Amino acid sequence: MCMSTHIVGVRDLDGKFEGMLAIKRACDKAEVEYPAAVEDYFGEPEFSEDELRSIMSEIDIEGAVTQVYLQDGVDTWEVTLSKLSDEVKAVRFSNSY
């Protein structure tokens, strides 16, 4: 049997996300183009709010994750907290068997 581990950051959707979403809503209402900051943040701001919430709920934290120990039956991972974005409110570990 084989196991894999996937580690992601869980984004604080009440912080910067809500501010960017407010700008997106205003642009949609005014039927104007999105500012570069909104496009950079969302990547694809044309998605619906529900789609953006789903897409943006996780942050890639690969740069903060290191596999520090590997032995038969034991995988040890380390997350360097100082390398995480301020938007990360939690770290999620998913194990697949």
What pLDDT score does 29 carry?
A: 95
Residue-range domain boundaries for the chain:
4-96
Angle at 89 between CA 17 and CA 37, to 5 degrees: 25
Burial (CB count within 10 angstroms: exposed 0-12, middle 13-18, buried 19+), residue 69: exposed
For 31-70, the pLDDT digits (tens) are 999 999 999 999 877 888 999 999 999 999 999 999 888 7
Average pLDDT, the chain: 90
Burial (CB count within 10 angstroms: exposed 0-12, middle 13-18, buried 19+), residue 52: buried
Measure the CA–CA gap between 77 and 65, rounded to whole angstroms: 7
